[in-house]
Amino acid sequence: MSTSDVTRVPVVEGYFVERPDGTATLVGGKCERCGSYFFPKRFSFCRNPECGEPGLIDVDLSTRGTLWSFTDNRYAPPPPYPASEPFEPYGVAAVTLETEQMVVLGQLARGTDVSALKAGQAMELCVEDLYEADGTTYTVWKWRTA
């Protein structure tokens, strides 16, 4: 099997879309009544307690934001979560999306120097491989410095 035979799929279906050109977008839910955004779009109703509109529309979330907080994770997650073997520490970022007024968590892209990050700096969405199993590469969204 050559590399091109490997299927790439999001580790969680519906959370993001990766295009052939390498760009990606998180898919959130938006309430058309009050304008609130949600990610992930886990429920089909607006969770704004003053709204409660039944039904959200799918929207592409902003692909750039500002770094709100971050840390580096030096412990492998317990099963059933996949971890590299041997475990490689990775950074985690919380990024504020201006338009949506929300914070979205994600791993930092491989090779990000966590010690060089500063809150408030520009970040952008990317997609990287998370793990492979049975000829399928599972991908996940990450944040990298913009």
Q: Which residues sit opposite 138 in a β-bridge?
A: 9, 131
Tallying the residues shown for the chain, one arrives at: 146
Give the nearest distance from C-beta 71 to Zn ion in angstroms.
32
Give the nearest distance from C-beta 30 to Zn ion in angstroms.
9
Give the nearest distance from C-beta 76 to Zn ion in angstroms.
39
Give the nearest distance from C-beta 26 to Zn ion in angstroms.
19
C-beta of 46 vs 95, nearer to Zn ion: 46
Task: Look at residue 113 and give its three-state secondary structure.
Answer: coil
Alpha-carbon distance of 58 to 130, in angstroms, equals 25
CB atoms near residue 73 (< 10 Å): 14
C-beta of 12 vs 51, nearer to Zn ion: 51
Alpha-carbon distance of 143 to 70, in angstroms, equals 11
C-beta of 92 vs 102, nearer to Zn ion: 102
Alpha-carbon distance of 138 to 133, in angstroms, equals 8
Which residues here bind Zn ion, judged by CB under 5 A?
A: 31, 33-34, 36, 46, 48, 51, 53
C-beta of 33 vs 64, nearer to Zn ion: 33
